[in-house]
Amino acid sequence: MKLHEYQSKQIFAKYGVPIPKGRVAATAGEAKSIAEELGGRVVIKAQVLVGGRGKAGGVQLAKDATEAEQIASRILAMEIKGLPVRKVLIDEAAAIETEIYFSITNDRNARKPVMIASAAGGVEIEDVAAKTPEKIVKIHIDPLLGLRDYQARDVAAFIDLPRDYWKDFGKIAAGLWRVYTEQDATLAEINPLVITKDKRIMALDGKMLIDDNALYRHPDLADMRDVDEEAPSEAEARKYGLTYIKLDGNIGCMVNGAGLAMTSMDIVKLFGGEPANFLDIGGGAAADKVAAAMRIILADQNVRAILLNIFGGITRCDEVARGILEATKAIQPKAPMVVRLVGTNAEEGRRLLSDANMTTADTLVDAAKKAVAAAKVAVA
């Protein structure tokens, strides 16, 4: 789950990371009164769950409250990378001297958290990473030992941070580490962390990704979820307890079990197809769940064929087949479907599906080949 900038920064502040004074507004009028409270010179920032807002015109400075109102009304009418702006953050403007990139995230390959920093922070950080990776430092953190003080000092030295700021930087690094671990974040990012002309160091921007599987122990964070900003299909999937991730291919995949789903996608690719999604329907395969999954898959305009790969363990295959038939009767999908059922009562399940003129397959390889072929025919 992604948090908005204003939400991330409020969490940072609780952990001792300095942030500018500011508040969120939903109307230009509110933006004006917040700007007045803050003394006039403010920055108006679109709150959308994508990066690169600055370059898209979603971050603008105002010299007084009247200008803040005008800018806020323009930004509130914007759409950034397809997302309508519904809120703006009004922060007191900072006079920036230096922009630093600083984050903590998961390094899956190293199986450890990693702290990443660069003196070349700001809106061009992707360019820096691509063209001059030597300007970026990465230091792994032992999850059991936690962030050590010397590691924060190593970062400070690498980014040539003036000595005067080392103590504050150490507190910020320790704070961000606690944010990352205690909030079950997979990313806690400050870009830019700035040094201001009046010699303060603070987080001007904030971004957090929270591990969805840990949300059960963070009800306060779960409440922060902005459903308006999510793809409707993902919100719908969550409602039915389905794990759905949209991808760019044209073969819809409906599978029970995350590992089996990954395998199914790999096999589809092996035979020249591209999966349209990851979808784990989880345990059981009640008709309403299958139907919801089918609706979600079919809502994707790219889908040309659907591959169902179901292992019937506790749920018997004949029950699954009945669920599939009930769901297809209700939805009447136009995309061809290939079903591979294996497990308890598989033969009975396959027979039910064949009787209803559905394509069945005995093995995953067979199913993937048939789905890839069906998608090609459907395109032509």
Q: Site mask, ligand GDP, residues 25-44, x = CB under 6 A?
A: ------------------x-
Least Cα distance to 176 among 231, 100, 240, 71 occurs for: 100
Bond into 333 cis (ω within 30): no
Burial 174-200 (b: 16+ CB within 10 A, else e): bbbbbbbbebbbbbbbbbbbbbbeeee
Residue with structure tokens 């136009």? 334
Among 5, 99, 205, 319, binds Mn ion (CB under 5 A): 205
- Supply the DSSP symbol for 340: E
- Say whether residue 205 binds ligand GDP (CB under 6 A): yes
The yes or no reply on residue 94 touching ligand GDP (CB under 6 A) is yes
Partner interacting with residue 99 (select from ligand GDP, Mn ion, none; CB below 5-8 Å by kind): ligand GDP
Which ranges of the chain would DSSP assign to H, the alpha helix? 5-14, 28-37, 65-76, 125-131, 149-158, 166-182, 219-222, 232-239, 258-270, 287-298, 317-331, 346-355, 364-379
Per the residue annotation, which of 15, 101, 240, 244 is the catalytic one? Answer: 101
46: tokens are 């679109």
Q: DSSP labels for 245-296? A: EE-SSSEEEEESSHHHHHHHHHHHHHTT--BSEEEE--S---HHHHHHHHHH
Residue 101 is a catalytic residue? yes
Angle (CA) 15-20-26 rounded to 5° is: 105
User: Which of 3, 25, 35, 59 is the binder for ligand GDP (CB under 6 A)?
Assistant: 59
94 binds, among Mn ion, ligand GDP, none (CB under 5 to 8 A by kind): ligand GDP
Nearer to ligand GDP, 51 or 333 (CB): 51
Complex with Mn ion: residue 46 or 317, whichever CB lies closer: 46
Residue 125 CA, distance from chain mean position = 19
Among this protein's residues, is 189 annotated catalytic?
Answer: yes
- Check residue 191 for interaction with Mn ion (CB under 5 A): yes
Binding mask 149-188 for Mn ion (x = CB under 5 A): ----------------------------------------
Q: Given candidates 9, 53, 316, 369, which one binds ligand GDP under the rule CB under 6 A? A: 53
Nearer to ligand GDP, 123 or 298 (CB): 123
312 in contact with ligand GDP (CB under 6 A): no
| Binding residues for ligand GDP (CB under 6 A) | 43, 45, 51-54, 59, 61, 93-94, 96, 99, 122-123, 191-192, 204-205
| Binding residues for Mn ion (CB under 5 A) | 191, 205
Question: Which residues have a catalytic role annotated?
Answer: 101, 189
